[in-house]
Amino acid sequence: MRRLRTTVDVQDASDDPLVRWAAQALSSGGAAWEHNGAVAVHAPALTRRRRLVLSGPAEGVASLLAAHGRGVELRPLLERPLALEVMSVMPTPWLEDKPFGWMDRSGALDLPAEACWLKTPDGVEMLLREANPDSWAWPGEKGVCRWAGVHVDGQLVATAAEAWSSADVGFMMGVAVHPSCTGQGLGQRICQFVTSSLLTLYGTCALFVENYNAPAIALYRKLGFAYRDVTTLLPAA
């Protein structure tokens, strides 16, 4: 089992955007390891969770999970088909916690008009409370870098954030469209703006999505994102 000490080490060990995104934790108390082609990144505080992000062949992932997967409130995060395979061979039982979706894309995307990065997040919190109260990103939260917006008649009606980006994976969260403005393409416009901007900066853009949110998944697919089922694990009592 080999310790990966830098973000570059993780990038050299894996081409999976999921673990490359998690590698940002190495600059803030995290750690990473490689074993038999698999990679694990311990992220003490990434999107509000203490995570162990894993990817690679099941045998190597199982070894990394056995060695580093235990801890108070630690949530192993990995692709769901891989998780089911790993759980079937682990000597110590694990339970699936909550499946959801990871989506990413690379390349370039046209920058749409009538959206911009906001100089200040005025109006964002109010819009989130009306349109997306379960958002994981909020103004002023650690790791949330900046907010984009679309205004109509001076009112902020759509927003999305760059939050928890790594060295080579930009991350989008906090998407919201005012309830009175749905069905007008504003969600696609704001997401295309943020995605285009992050692709230019990082080369890859990614996001989390609820696996039951079919309209959101369809919108992101339209923007070129590919969907993967991911899940978190809990140690069995």
Instruction: Compute CA 71 distance to the chain's CA centroid, rounded to the nearest angstrom.
Output: 22
* Structure confidence by residue, pLDDT tens digits, 159-208: 999 999 999 999 999 999 999 999 999 999 999 999 999 999 999 999 99
What's the rounded mean pLDDT across residues 103-123? 96
Paired with 233 in beta bridges are: 96
Tell me, what's the pLDDT at 71?
80
In whole angstroms, what is the distance from residue 144 CA to residue 151 CA? 21
User: Is the predicted pLDDT of residue 218 greater than 80, yes or no?
Assistant: yes
pLDDT range class, residue 91, cuts 50, 70, 90: confident
Cβ neighbours, 10 Å, residue 175: 24
Tell me, what's the pLDDT at 98?
87
Tell me if residue 48 falls in helix, strand or coil: coil
In whole angstroms, what is the distance from residue 158 CA to residue 122 CA? 12
